C-alpha cells in the first residue's frame, strides 16, 4: 500500500461516452448531451460509488469538416454548457466534486473567476476549474475571426490568466462578511482587496463580487502535457489530467511535473496526477472483449479519420487508409496529445485504420479491457509505481460504462485497500487530500 493514501477517481462524463461510436451502443443514451435527467442520474450514481469528482470537458464550436461526416459524430455537437449543468448537479449531490473545463484562450479572467466561485458556493466547496488553452483553431471563428494564437502565446496568456483568476478569488478575506444587522455593517471594509492587475494580456481592477467558499476557492486542474503544459501545471495546478499509454512514460511524466514544483515554492504532495483510463469491463475477459468489439464494429471510416486527423492536426483523407501514417508536421493545437498518438503509431507500427481504431475510444489515453481484477491490477501498478495518484475514468458508452466500472472495479479496489469506503469530507479539497489555501494578497 502506497503511503500516498488511496487512489483518486474522477468520473469523466463525455455525454454519450468516450468511444466515437458510443452513442450507437444499444444501452447508450443517444440524446445525452441535452438530457438533464441522464446527467442527474449519473451524478447520483457516481457519488454513491464514491468518485472524487465529476469531470466535464468542453469546446466552443461544432467540429468542422465534411457535413456528412460530422452528422455521424455525437461528441461536442449538442451539449450543455458545463457550468450551467454542474450547478444543476450540485443540487442533487453533497460530496462529489464538480469540475468543468474553461479555456483561457477565448474567455476573460473575471468571467471565469466569478462563474467558478459561484459554483463553489452553490456546491458548498466542491468546484474545480480545468484550465486549458484552446487546441482547435476553429474556435477562433466564433470570437472575432482572428488568427488562432500560437502554442507559446496561448500558454503565456494562460499563465497570466491564472494569476488574475487567483487574485480575484482572493478579493475577500475568509471572515470579511459579518452580516451584522444590529450594527448595520454587511462586511468589514478592511477585509476587501481590489486586484488592480496591469499585465501584458489583461487589465483587471477587481474586486470579485463573490465571497470565498468553505474550501477557500475552487481547485485548479490542468490538462496540458507539452513542455509548456508541464511548466504551467507545476506552477498552477492542483490536479493534472494527462494522457499516457505507457507505464514508463507515465512515470517519467509524473516525476518530471512533480520535480518542477519546488522551483515554484510548491509541495509535490499538493498536486494529484490523474491520467485518463478508458476501461471496458466485463464479468469475464471474453465478455469485455465482446463489448469492445461491438463498439469497434460501429466505427465508420470517415468518422475514424476525422477524429484521428483532429488529434494530429492533419487532414488524412487523401492517404491510403490501410497504409502507413505519413510524416506529420508539428501542430499548433494540442502538442502533448499529438506526441502520445504518434508514439503509439511508431511503437506498434500501425496503419492509419489501425491507429484510428486504437484511439477511437481512448483518444490517446490508457486503455484497459478485461475483468474487474485485470483492470484493478493495472491501476494498482500505476499507482504503486508512482505513475499516477489516481485516474479519470472514461466510460466507453453511458450510462452502462460507468455502471460497469462502479459495480465491478471499485469494489475490487476496495477489497485491495486502494479506494475509500466513505468520503473524507464535504469539500473537494478534503476528499482529494489537498490543503485549503490561506488568504493571500
Q: Is the pLDDT of residue 227 over 90?
A: no
Please write the tens of the pLDDT for every residue from 145-188: 788 999 889 999 999 999 999 999 999 999 999 999 999 999 99
CA distances from 381 to 103, 240, 246, 413 (A): 33, 19, 12, 12
Q: What angle do CA 400, 402, 407 make, to 5 degrees?
A: 95
Report the distance separating Cα 171 and Cα 362, nearest Å: 40
This prediction has a pTM of 0.90
- Quickly tell me which residue has 507505464 as its cell: 247
Domain boundary assignment for the chain:
8-282+366-432, 300-359
- Among candidates 439, 386, 440, 390, which has minimal Cα distance to 410? 390
377-405 pLDDT per residue, tens: 999 999 999 999 999 999 999 999 999 99
Q: What is the mean pLDDT of the chain?
A: 92
pLDDT digits (tens, 9 = 90+) for 88-141: 999 999 999 999 999 999 999 999 999 999 999 999 999 999 999 998 888 989
β-strands 203-204, 219-222 pairing: unpaired
The answer to whether 393 and 407 have CB atoms below 8 angstroms apart is: no
Decide if pLDDT at 339 tops 90: no
Asked if pLDDT for residue 25 goes beyond 70, the answer is yes
Q: Is the peptide bond before 207 cis (omega within 30 degrees of 0)?
A: yes
pLDDT-derived band at 1, boundaries 50, 70, 90? very low
DSSP letter (8 states) at residue 192: B
Q: What is the pLDDT of residue 332?
A: 64
What average pLDDT does this structure show over 188-216? 97
Q: Where are the alpha helices (DSSP H) in 123-219?
A: 151-169
What does the pLDDT read at residue 98? 98
Percent of the chain with pLDDT strictly greater than 70: 98
Name the class of domain 8-282+366-432: alpha beta
Grid coordinates given for 229? 503544459
Structure confidence by residue, pLDDT tens digits, 31-87: 999 999 999 999 999 999 999 999 999 988 887 778 887 788 777 788 999 999 999
* Phi, psi (rounded to 5 degrees) for 280: -105, 115
* Contact indicator for 133, 105 with CB cutoff of 8 Å: yes
120-129, 183-192, 211-220, 319-328, range with the lowest pLDDT: 319-328
Task: Extract the C-alpha cell encoding 63.
Answer: 467540429
| Closest-CA residue to 133 (of 76, 187, 70, 59) | 59
Amino acid at each position: 500500500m502506497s503511503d500516498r493514501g488511496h487512489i483518486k477517481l474522477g468520473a469523466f462524463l463525455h455525454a454519450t461516452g468516450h468511444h466515437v461510436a458510443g452513442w450507437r451502443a444499444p444501452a447508450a443514451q443517444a440524446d445525452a448531451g441535452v438530457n438533464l435527467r441522464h446527467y442527474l442520474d449519473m451524478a447520483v450514481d457516481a457519488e454513491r460509488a464514491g468518485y472524487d469528482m465529476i469531470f466535464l470537458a468542453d469546446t466552443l464550436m461544432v467540429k468542422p469538416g465534411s457535413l456528412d461526416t460530422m452528422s455521424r459524430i455525437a461528441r461536442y455537437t449538442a451539449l450543455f454548457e458545463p457550468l450551467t449543468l454542474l450547478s444543476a448537479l450540485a443540487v442533487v449531490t453533497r460530496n462529489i466534486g464538480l469540475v468543468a473545463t474553461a479555456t483561457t484562450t477565448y474567455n476573460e479572467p473575471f468571467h471565469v473567476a466569478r462563474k467558478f466561485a459561484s459554483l463553489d458556493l452553490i456546491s458548498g466547496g466542491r468546484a474545480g476549474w480545468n484550465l486549458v488553452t484552446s487546441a482547435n483553431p476553429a474556435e477562433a471563428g466564433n470570437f472575432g475571426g482572428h488568427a488562432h494564437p500560437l502554442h507559446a502565446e496561448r500558454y503565456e496568456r494562460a499563465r497570466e490568466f491564472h494569476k488574475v483568476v487567483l487574485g480575484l478569488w482572493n478579493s475577500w478575506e475568509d471572515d470579511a462578511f459579518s452580516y451584522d444587522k444590529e450594527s448595520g455593517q454587511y462586511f468589514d471594509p478592511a477585509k476587501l482587496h481590489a486586484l488592480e492587475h496591469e499585465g501584458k494580456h489583461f487589465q483587471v481592477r477587481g474586486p470579485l463580487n463573490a465571497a470565498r467558499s468553505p474550501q477557500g476557492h475552487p481547485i485548479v486542474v490542468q490538462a496540458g502535457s507539452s513542455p509548456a503544459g508541464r511548466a504551467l501545471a507545476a506552477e498552477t495546478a492542483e490536479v493534472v489530467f494527462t494522457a499516457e499509454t505507457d507505464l514508463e512514460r507515465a512515470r517519467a511524466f509524473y516525476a518530471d511535473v512533480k520535480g518542477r514544483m519546488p522551483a515554484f515554492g510548491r509541495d509535490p504532495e499538493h498536486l494529484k496526477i490523474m491520467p485518463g483510463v478508458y476501461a471496458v469491463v466485463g464479468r469475464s475477459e471474453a465478455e469485455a472483449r465482446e463489448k469492445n468489439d461491438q463498439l469497434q464494429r460501429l466505427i465508420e471510416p470517415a468518422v475514424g479519420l476525422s477524429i484521428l486527423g483532429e488529434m494530429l492536426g492533419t487532414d488524412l483523407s487523401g492517404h491510403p487508409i490501410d497504409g502507413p501514417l505519413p510524416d506529420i508536421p508539428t501542430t499548433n493545437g494540442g502538442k502533448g496529445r499529438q506526441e502520445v498518438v504518434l508514439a503509439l503509431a511508431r511503437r506498434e507500427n500501425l496503419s492509419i485504420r489501425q491507429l484510428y481504431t486504437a484511439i477511437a475510444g481512448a483518444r490517446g489515453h490508457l486503455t484497459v479491457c478485461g475483468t474487474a481484477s485485470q483492470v484493478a491490477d493495472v491501476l494498482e501498478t500505476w499507482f504503486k509505481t508512482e505513475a499516477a495518484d489516481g485516474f479519470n475514468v472514461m466510460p466507453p458508452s453511458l450510462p452502462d460504462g460507468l455502471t460497469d466500472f462502479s459495480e465491478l472495479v471499485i469494489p475490487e479496489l476496495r477489497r485491495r485497500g486502494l479506494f475509500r469506503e466513505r468520503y473524507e469530507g464535504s469539500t473537494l479539497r478534503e476528499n482529494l487530500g489537498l490543503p485549503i489555501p490561506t488568504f493571500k494578497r
